Structure 1
Amino acid sequence: MLPRLTIRALLACAFVSLAALLLAIGIGGAYGIRSTNQALADSAENVPTLRAIDQQLELISRVRMRLDRIVAAPTFINLNSSLESVAALLAESDNVWSFYRNLPAEVDEEGLAEAVTLAREDFKDNGCKPVIAALRAGDSTKAQEITFDTLQKKYVVLADATAKLVHFQEDNSAQLSASGRAHEKVTLAATLILTVTGFLCSLCAWRIVTSAIARPIAAATQHFEAMERGDLTTHIVIERDDELGVLLKRLGKMRNSLNRTVSTVRDGVDLVAHAAGEIASGNNDLSHRTEQQAASLQETAATMEEFSATVKHNAANTLEASTLTRTVSVTAGRGALAVQRVLESMNALKDASGKIAEITGIIESIAFQTNILALNAAVEAARAGEQGRGFAVVATEVRALAQRSGTAAREIKDLINDSVSSVLDGASQAADADDQMGQTLAALSRVTTLIGEIASASQEQARGIEQVTTAVSQLDEVTQQNASLVEQAAGASASMEEQATKMRDVVAGFRVTD
């Protein structure tokens, strides 16, 4: 039945029971105190009653004794003063008795008090007053007779009535005292019984609360300690439906959830550690390849710089060759003019053979210079490589033509002395030379154009190579940055692998169910 009650209900029952016992003890104690106080109050009320009864009887007794003395020796005392003192004692006795009569009294007490009142009135009216009247009349004999006979009898009646009233008051006080002692015993017994009952109920409540709270809390504490040690394999037994049963249910759900979480974290840590190892290995390989790529880019940049310098040098040589070609073209033009003059001279050779010889010498000199220029052009074309191949062919032809011109000039010079008829042959050869010089001029013009295009292309190529060199330098810088980032990533991967290993070690401290 107890496991079906909640802890709140158990505690409420226990505290309500203890509170009820405490309330009963308090009510019993209050009732005992009230009864005792009532008995004490009643006893306190009897004290002034008894005092008033005794005091009025004492005053009456003093009146009787005063009258006895006056009657016994009337001539030796001051009668008026003595009678005034008797009257004063009677008045005081009346005041005391009036005080008593004003106090609350019981029904039985009223009858006794009324008897005392009648006895007092009889004592005063039929005893004291006749004695006082006889004394005032000077009849001492009559006063003595009344005093020792009637007054004495009246006093005895009054004393008997007063004694009965006092006895009643004493009996009443005894009853009140007995009632107080009885209430005291009942209150003490009830208090002891309730105290013992409360103590036993406290023990029972302690046992019940211990069974309902302490033991389940101890069991929950053991489960918490097991979880603290990392042991998640313990099975939580739930046999209650109260708050602690709900706590154990929640604890079981928490253990199951923590078990699943730790298992998931353990599997995740293993996967993270494996992935971190693979990432670290891949980063190391990537770092090695990036370093190799950076080295290759550095070599490529150096090669591009050398190639750029070579292209710039070729561009400069091409410009120089273009200049030389223009010079050769000018010289060839001059040769054409000379050939024309040779033709004119050949037409006028008949009249001036000496001039022909002079012109022939000039032609020989020009042919020599042309040969030298063609030789230089061939050298420059050889330096230009593949791009100067056409120019080399032209230069070779020019050189050949120059050599032939020199040979022809020498032959002309020799033939001038042999025969004038050879002048016609020389004129024909001069015409051929004029045609060849025209072709040479055309070829030189084409060579000049080609060399100009080659120079322009070389400059464009040099600018392109500079851009490529700049791009390669930027690519090398980016590659260096990538290498640094790859190293950082490798370090981060190693750190992540280390942290994953630590997490694996931490999670390994938990024991979980499969």
Structure 2
Amino acid sequence: MKSFSVATKIWLSMLVLVLAYLGSQVLAWKLEKNLETQLRLIDSTYFVLSRNSERLIGTFEEIQQDFMTAVMTGETAALQDSIPKKNALLQEMGHLLNLPSLPVNTSTHLSKLLEDFKTHFEAALPLYTAMIRNEHGADATAKAEELRLGKESLHSRFTELRNSSQEALQLRMDAILSDQAASRNLQWIVFVLVLLVTWLTTSIVIRNFICKPLLMATELAATVEQGNLDMRIEIDSEDEIGVLVRTLNRMAEGLKQKAEAAQAIASGDLTRQIVLSSSQDMLGQAFSNMSNNLNHFLSEVHESVVQVASGASQLHGASQELSSGASRQASSLEQISSSMVEIGAQTKANAQSAHKANDLAVQSRQLGENGHQQMARLLEAIDAIAKSSREIAKINRVIDDIAFQTNLLALNAAVEAARAGKHGKGFAVVADEVRNLAARSAKAAKETADLIDGSVRRVENGTEAANSTSVALNEIVSGVSQVADLIHQISQASSEQEKGISEINKSLVHVEEVTQSFTANAEETAAASNELSRQSTVVENLLGNFKIIKSDSVKTKQVLGNKPAAAKIPPPKTVTAQGVKNQSKGWEELKANANSQVHSSKAKDLISFGDDEEFDRY
């Protein structure tokens, strides 16, 4: 049963109910079948016996009535009427003897009654006939008395048969009613027993194999919900509920491991590894990401603190050099200013010359474009001439064809004139002239065609030359355009250079003013660097409370509490936009507080540490 699934257990419970129901139905069918058999027996035997026994009494009384009528009327015909009734009575009694399942005593009684009736009738018929005919002897009275006694005996026996048949029918009916009541009671008892057994079986199965494990699983889930992760359930069932309980046990175990890891992380131990239950373990992934991010964050913070400490010491020395460098920078700025004045004058002259060259280049480009347009129109005219020459050549070929056809007509006319004899001489002369004219036309057409062909070739040569010239002009125009563009760019650059030099002169004046402020700010920077060094020591001591996993990217100690020697400041790491975005809010506030402590209001206006991309990450 433990290896069955929940559905199988429920189906087995239903099967018990179905089997019990089928058993009760089979029992009811057997009882109904027995009742039906008894009813059929009553209908075919006892009811027929009771009904026909009443009929036998009536027939017997009718026969006796016929005998009395015949004796009193003295007619023998009345005696003959009793014979069919006698036969009917005997036939009816024989039918009763053949009834199925007839009781033995009833059958014996009926057989004896049948024999006695036959004897009585065989004795009564001749006696009553003799009495009607007055042929009876001295013993007629004794025989009549004997017949009377026999008649009364037969009547009482027929009555007894009727009464016994009715009593047997009533007893059978009472027995059937009693059996029916007993059958109904038995069916109710079986039905109640079936319901009870089915209820007990189903209750045991559902309670022990479904409800009880579900209650234990619910208790485990409620315990886990309350935060107690130590409870486990031992179950050896292989059904869905067993799988559910074992899954809940594994879930509680996994949550307990994650809770222990969270406690370790909360106590500062970031070396605890998080074991994921699966690739969909969101809580495990969250703890793992949190541990990794904290490891990475604290490593970066410690490294940043080390670099800040080193940078603070170097910043103190640099601030000392800044003051002396500021004075030297002031004298250099005076020399630069005088040089920039001369460069500005020369740049202004260059800008004016560049503007003039730009104007000339623009004019040259316009002339080149005009020549290109004229060459394009020349090419169009040459193309038109070539097209006209080709059309003339076509017309000349038509003339040549006409001359050829005329020559053929003249030849045909000469042949016809020769056939006509002397009557065709004049026509022959005309045909000869026409042939000569056709020959001259063909010759002239050939000469014209040669001239046109030569003209077409020369036109094609001229077209090729014009195309070459057009290409050359295009290149010239392109070169002139490029030169014009370059000169224009030079002109613009000269103008911008002139403006830039003017701005540089203004900036130099401002730089000179700022340089004078550097000396005072250098002292403030030295004081701020000392405070920054002290704060970095405090942060480093706080970070010493955490243990993190060794990383190849961290160049410090395994334990962050070990303070490295302050050497030359290492080159700062490249900080991406995503890395800056992922820094904690607390670190941003710490950085803002440090900036507010290090820089005075005047130093912030002159030296913005936030503009330094590399320094901003510290």
TM class by smaller structure:
0.3 to 0.5
Q: Tell which has more relative contact order, 1 or 2 (C-alpha 8 A, sep 6+).
A: 1
- Higher helix share goes to which structure? 1
Q: Flag the structure with larger Rg.
A: 1
Please, what TM-score do these two structures have when normalized by structure 2? 0.40
